[in-house]
Amino acid sequence: MSEKNASLTIGNDTYELPIYEAAVGPDVIDIGALYKNTNMFTFDPGFTSTASCESAITYIDGDQGVLLHRGYPIDELAEHGDFLETCYLLLYGSLPTAEQKTKFDAQVTNHTMLHDQMTKLFTGFRRDAHPMAIMVGVVGALSAFYHDSTDIADPQQRMIASYRMIAKMPTIAAWAYKYSIGQPFVYPRNDLGYASNFLHMCFAVPAEDYDIDPILARAMDRIFVLHADHEQNASTSTVRLAGSSGANPFACVAAGIACLWGPAHGGANEAALNMLNEIGSVDRIPEFIDRAKDKDDPFRLMGFGHRVYKNYDPRAKIMQKTTHEVLGVLGIKDDPILDIAMELEKIALEDEYFKKRGLYPNIDFYSGITLKALGFPTDMFTVLFSLARTVGWIAQWKEMIEDPQQRIGRPRQLYRGESHRSYVPVDKRG
């Protein structure tokens, strides 16, 4: 039971609302009984002040620029760990022992193949279909193939579904890319690590061997770590809401992919690179800065701003470092797009308009430059984001399903439409 209460006075009535203490960060006020006691709803359309659930997976402090996964800072995980270790941590709550990691890596590796009939799904799309459209379709179709891991009440089946999702996303993402460029699918290989396997499936061709640069593979793996989970963002909230009805887990992840696609969310990395290309040269930056401030202009600086981070996005710092590493390995010295990005960041960080609004580069600002340097086309950037975020979606979905308090999510509304009207026959309407 809560020791602390908040008092809410409406007219002559005062209501006591329980306050629950957080392990770290903001406490919450339980308003669950508000409607029953006051016949009123709370109103928070963008959920800026609403905690939708209780979770122990990821903590973000937007003012301090802190991101913790199960208590571990993102920079330590990115520096010292790898993506599959982060997957284990998000799913199970602790870092794996050497034996646990070996077993987990092997389990994921052994689920990377797709049911062979799924290869035919890709051919139903136009070759110029956006790869995110293919991801929504093919990932959703997983729910038609793996019926032995969809009884979400069975912990064993939930875990198999989790492994399958994590393991198969790189294969689906790589095949979406191959399909779009008219090259044959390259099958996963069990002798390659997670990121190396993905790069191999994307860039190898049957006609010759493909050498994987270990530094680029490490950079790819680190990019996956940086995108793995991020508290109750829009796509994670989508997966939780879809899962709250008991829906098929693969279908829930497909819903998350659909939400992530939006340019205000995961689509920002693609939009940020398109924006840098549109700016085209350093001397045109002031023109675009002015447009970003103009309320009558819908233009936004893509890759800037964040609902939670009103200070620097800790992932952006690591992403920027990775960008320079990758460009260095590839010998890309004078990348005009990087020059524009660095100058835009410098100008924006000194500009009062952006400082006052807490608009700093987020992870999407630099990820596009890195992914372009690694050889990915712009429309694949959000696909890679969805590949990495799948473990976050699945870990949050699993936490929700295993919560004994779990019930279907069903928000209410502030109704501002017509009150009661009687039907008028069509020959009587003015």
* Selected binder of ligand SDX within 180, 362, 382, 396 (CB under 6 A): 362
Q: For ligand SDX, which residue of 222, 306, 372, 398 counts as binding (CB under 6 A)?
A: 306
Stretch binding ligand SDX (CB under 6 A), from 13-21, 51-59, 70-78, 261-269:
261-269
Q: Which stretch binds ligand SDX (CB under 6 A): 104-112, 130-138, 265-273, 396-404?
A: 265-273
The candidate with the shortest Cα–Cα distance to 88, out of 169, 13, 166, 142, is 166
By CB under 6 A, the count of residues binding ligand SDX is 21
Q: Considering the candidates 306, 324, 351, 379, report the single residue annotated as catalytic.
A: 306
Shortest approach of ligand SDX to residue 319 CB, angstroms? 11
Residue 204's CB: how many other CB atoms inside 10 A?
19
> Rule CB under 6 A: is residue 321 a binding residue for ligand SDX?
no
Residue 283-302 contact track with ligand SDX, rule CB under 6 A, x = bound: ---------x-------xxx
User: C-beta of 111: minimal distance to ligand SDX in Å?
Assistant: 25
Identified catalytic residue from 364, 379, 403, 427: 364
Q: Is residue 306 annotated as a catalytic residue, yes or no? A: yes
CA distance 64 to 76: 16
Q: Is 304 in the site for ligand SDX (CB under 6 A)?
A: yes
363, 388 in Cβ contact below 8 A? no
Please classify residue 185 by burial: count the beta carbons closer than 10 Å to its beta carbon, then call 0-12 exposed, 13-18 middle and 19+ buried: middle
Measured between alpha carbons, how far is 271 from 379 in angstroms, rounded to an integer? 9
Among 21, 79, 264, 290, binds ligand SDX (CB under 6 A): 264
Question: For ligand SDX, which is the closer residue by CB, 27 or 297?
Answer: 297
Q: Read off the tokens for 231.
A: 């508290």
- 69 tagged catalytic: no
Backbone region of residue 173 per phi and psi (left: phi > 0; alpha: psi in -120 to 50; beta: other values): alpha
With CB atoms as reference, the residue minimizing the distance to ligand SDX is: 305
Say whether 68 sits in a helix, a strand or coil: strand
Phi/psi at 219 (5° precision): -65, -40
Binding of ligand SDX by 226 (CB under 6 A): no
How many angstroms from the chain centroid is the CA of residue 317?
Answer: 18
Verify binding: residue 268, ligand SDX, rule CB under 6 A. yes
257 vs 251: CA distance, rounded Å: 10
Alpha-carbon distance of 380 to 177, in angstroms, equals 7
Q: So which residues are the catalytic ones?
A: 306, 364
Q: Which residues bind ligand SDX (CB under 6 A)?
A: 46, 230, 233, 264-266, 268, 292, 300-308, 357, 359, 362, 364
